[in-house]
């Protein structure tokens, strides 16, 4: 028995085939598995994470914060001009994971940094 791929929208394991399409009963998403493979390969290469100036960021880059950013739970904010080394790109709203001296591990949005 072949194992059905998880839903690309909600990651539920209950998908089932309906003709050439796969259907997720949890979120009612329908997709063609053949198109999903080809589109995800181009999406990774075409959609890079960009900084405030439009430069494409990569893992390990050094960036500078361009705006004072308040930090939840901290008494001070990350000041503009703060240099952040060795960033890691990730998925989600805050698409940069990094460590900042005095704050520790933190997530940043790419729109508030510029590449050095």
> How confident is the model over 72-116, as pLDDT tens digits?
888 899 999 999 999 999 988 899 999 998 889 999 999 999 999
CATH of residue 76's domain is: 2.30.30.40
pLDDT tens for each residue of 28-52: 888 888 776 544 443 333 458 899 9
Domain boundaries, position 99: 63-115
- pTM for the model: 0.59
**CA separation for the pair 114, 42 (Å, rounded):** 25
**Residues 68 and 33 occupy one common structural domain:** no
The count of structural domains within the chain is 2
**Torsion angle, alpha carbons of 48, 52, 58, 59, to 10:** -120
């Amino acid at each position: 028995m072949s194992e059905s791929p998880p839903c690309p929208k909600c990651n539920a394991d209950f998908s089932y085939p309906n003709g050439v399409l796969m259907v997720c009963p949890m979120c009612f998403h329908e997709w063609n598995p053949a198109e999903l493979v080809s589109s995800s390969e181009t999406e990774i290469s075409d959609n890079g994470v960009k900084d405030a100036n439009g430069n494409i960021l990569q893992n390990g880059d050094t960036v500078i914060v361009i705006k004072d950013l308040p930090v939840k739970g901290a008494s001070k904010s990350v000041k503009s001009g703060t240099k952040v080394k060795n960033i890691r790109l990730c998925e989600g709203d805050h698409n940069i994971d990094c460590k900042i001296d005095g704050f520790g591990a933190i997530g940043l949005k790419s729109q508030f940094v510029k590449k050095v």
